[in-house]
Every structure is written in C-alpha cells, then in structure tokens.
Amino acid sequence: MRTEQIIQNNGDVIFYHNYHGQIYDISVRPGVKEVTFTASGIVSLYQNYCPVFKLKNVKKQFPDVERLIIDKSISGKNLIILSNFMFPNVKYIYSSSEHYESGSVLKEKSFNNIKLCNTFCKKADEIIDLSGVTIISKDAFAGCQSTHVIQTKQIKSIDPAAFDGSAFALNGRTVIADTLLIVANESNACIDIPSNITRMAFLGPLNPLRIRIQNLSQLSLLPDRFHTRKLECEIASQDFIEPHKLVSFSSGLVSFVFPENHPYYMSIGSAIYTKDKKRLIVCSQSCTGSFDVPEGVETIGQHAFLCSQIKEVHLPKSVKKIDDSAFTRAKNLKAVTGGDSLVSIGDYSFFECASLDTMPLPETLRFIGASAFSSTALKTVHLPAHLLHVGNCSFSGATAVSMAAYIPGSLAALYSAPVHNDKREGHYPIRLQIGDAVTYMDAALSGSVQEIDMHLSAFPDDEKYIRQLYLYTPSIKNPVSFKVELAVMAYKEMD
C-alpha cells in the first residue's frame, strides 16, 4: 500500500494515509497537548473526497493530548473514528466543522440527531455533559471511569455495547444517571423504574430479571434487544391499559405481573386476563409445551397466541369465541382440544399454524372466519350441522383437507370456495337463503361463488332470474364446464 504523510508542527503529529483518502495510522510525540484533524494536504484519487480518520483499531495511546481540533474542512459524517484509549485524557474538543460540536466529549451532528462518539477516559469525578445527544454509539463510554452523567433527556437510542468496559459495567450494579437508567447484570433483582426515567440501557448478558414500572409507556424505553431477555414486568400503575398495547409489548417478556388489587387485569403464569377472567388477552411467546386455558374464560383475544411456541392448547367448555388472528403463525401448535361450547372462530384465527392437524369443530359452532385454517395440516373437516357462515378461503392451503360431509343446510353465507385443492373428489352443495328464497350451488367451484353471491345480494322471488345466472358468468374461464357443474334452483320454503 502506497502511503503519504501529513506532518503537523514540524513532526509533532504525523497522520498516515493512502490515495483512497483513508487515514489509518498516527504518531504523536510525547508532551504534545493538541492534535488537529484536517482534510488539508491530503491527496485523494477521488476529487472532493473528504478523508476518513479510521483510527479506532490503532493500538497506540497518547496520554499527553488534552485538546482535539476539528477543522472546518472535515465536511461529512462518520469521518473521525477513534478509540477512547488513544486519547484517554482529552478535556475539550474545539470544532469549526458543521458536522461536529465543541465540548468535553466528541459529538457528531447528522440531520436531526446528535451522536455521542467518544467520552474518552473521564476520571471518576468528572462530569459528562450529554446536552443534545440523541444517540449513544458503540463503545462511547469504553474506559470511562465517571458515572456522573447529565442532560440525558433527549436520548432516543443506545447501542447495546455503548457502556462496555466503562465504570457502569465494571461496578456491576444498576445506576441512575440523570434520566438514564443503566441496568447491570444483577441476579434475582427487582428493579424499580422511577417515573422520571426517559431511557434504559442493559449491560451484557442478563440473568432472569424483574422490573417494576409505573406505567406501560415506560416499556417503550427498553432497548431493542430486550425481547431476547427473560423479563418479568410488574405493572405498578392502577390505570386502564388498552389490551392491544399489552399484546404488542408482551412478545419479548416472560410475563406481565399485575398486583392482586389491579382493577382491570390479572396475571396467571405467563398469561394476562381481564379482571373477571372472561377474556384471555395475551400469553407470552416464551411459553412452550401444553397450555390449559382456565375454566371461566369465554374469549381468546386477538393475537393472544400470535407466533406462540406452544404445541398444544386445551380449551375449557366456557370458551365460546376465538378472536381474529388469535393463534396466527403458532407454527408448533399441533392440537387444539376441548372447546365443546365454541360458537365463533374469527378471521385468520389459525392462519399458518403449519403443524395443526387436530381441531374439533363442535356442534355449537356457527361462524368460521376468512382464512381461519389456511395453511394448516388439517386433513379432514367435519362441519357441524348448524353452521351459518364459512369465510373466504377458510381452509385454503391446508395439507390435504377434504370435506367429510355435505355443507350443512343451515349455511347462510359462504363467500368463496372454502378449499382450494384440485385433488378433492365430489361436489358439495352450498345452500344460500335470503328471506324465504333459497338457491343451491356447487361449493367446489373456486372463483365463481363470490361472483354469484354478488348477483344474489338482491335476491328476487323469480325463478327465471335464477336461471339467468347461467348467462352472467363472464369471468369464468370455462363457462361451458361451469354450466355443466353448476345446478341452480330456487323455491319457496314450505312450512
């Protein structure tokens, strides 16, 4: 590699760079107090290319340097990349560049953010002022002995390794730094999060941890990687929390814990219920194996088991409703048992439950939503005698599903063929009724039933009109075949 040198102050400071505009090494004479970062004098193969000072991995230390000067010629972001240990005793940075701020720490400006790059190795009694900082970068506190941090309210993002090698990590205890809560690796600890905390950081791999928060909004302060930790979250607030928020935050928590006197919710094991225990709101994704829904629960809430790891679930006789997407993408779920009083299964309830091969449909069932069992492993479906509604593509994509009986005569709405499987045998009539007028059609016809439903939306008391449906099939690829397969008739229900 061909290199060039930038020599400052008669050789007090020497930067080494290549023709790609990259500074990859530095030398500083002992006793030198000041180092200047400038693009002047650097020749690059690329015109108008600002050099990059990539010095973080250079294993050199210059303890006498106390000031860094950033020239206005440094005209871009991510151009000064340093290790705190290279200049451990820097007291101040003077910047005339629009991309860096002056101050006691190195801060880079980018759009609407200010990133903390380096605190250097501040002594224990020194103050670290983070005014305006919104992002704390990787290794920003490495080697820093001070835990006296101020002006932290604007911080929005903290790199998981931001505090590695700092006093925060080495002390092994949880520290409150202004509005920042830095959680150390403490076992069997319950950590109270004060109401004034605006951001949290976790240090290193954590043991199972329990935190106590004042309100659910504080969960948004957890770093992105919290979902890989085994956390119990105790909610101290007595306020009402919207169920969908409990669902959205529970994906990475072992469980929420509500105090016994909470007016709206209760927690049993890894699941949350309404106070009357009639609705199961959410079960943690960390739950595995078999799950027994307690007696008394009447509704399994929307997304309650979304992407769950459970393999089997037992529904008590009290359960009457499974809400939309309740078990969506629970790919390990193989069997659902019980549910003898089930009335309604919502849209996408078991969508993409790829292992599901056992799902009883009790005689009490009246409603099956759209795509409720799409992409499952169900092989045989016995539709109960009094079923009223089967949604669009309700069994589409199932492994080898077949209807074990005719569509029940009670069925009032079927919006498309429930099964898309070219290998099925036989034809299954659908009975559609509006008022006392009734028509029958073949359920096996994919892509045509929906169009016929549209025509029947203004169902006339006229057999001639029903026969004309043969003529109104422009979207059918093979109208001749369609006419042969579709037998349509209308009649008056007799008492």
**Locate tokens 């205890």: which residue?**
173
3-state secondary structure 346-397: CCCCCCCCCCCCECCCCCCCCEECCCCCCCCCCCEECCCCCCCEECCCCCCC
What is the distance between the alpha carbons of residues 352 and 361, in angstroms, rounded to a whole number?
18
Cα(279)–Cα(299) distance, integer angstroms: 5
Amino acid letter for position 207: N
pLDDT of residue 108: 94
If you search the block for the tokens 């709405």, which residue do you land on? 413
CA angle 360, 415, 350 (to 5 degrees): 35
Report CA-CA distances (Å) from 418 to 10, 370, 391, 397, 401.
84, 9, 7, 10, 10
Distance, CA of 247 to chain centre: 11
Q: Mean pLDDT, consecutive 10-residue segments, the chain of 495 residues?
A: 63 82 88 89 56 90 95 81 95 94 94 93 94 94 94 90 90 83 70 83 68 75 58 78 75 70 88 94 86 96 92 96 95 94 95 91 91 84 80 68 50 51 40 44 42 49 50 44 39 32
Residue whose C-alpha is closest to residue 361's, from 333, 391, 341:
341
Ranges assigned E (strand) in 398-443: 402-403, 413-414, 429-434, 437-442
β-strand 335-338 against 309-315: which pairing, if any? parallel
DSSP string of 59-123?
Answer: ----TT--EEEE-TT--SSS-EE--TTTSTT--EEEE-STTEE-BSSEEEEETTEEEEEE--S--
Query: Which is it for strands 299-300 and 279-283: parallel, antiparallel or unpaired?
Result: parallel
CA distances from 69 to 12, 216, 259, 358 (A): 14, 45, 56, 70
DSSP state of 324: T
Contact 324, 370 (CB under 8 A): no
Distances (CA, A) of 193 to 36, 51, 161, 163, 171: 43, 44, 21, 19, 19
Looking at residue 395, what is its pLDDT?
76
Which tokens belong to 294?
Answer: 């307690």
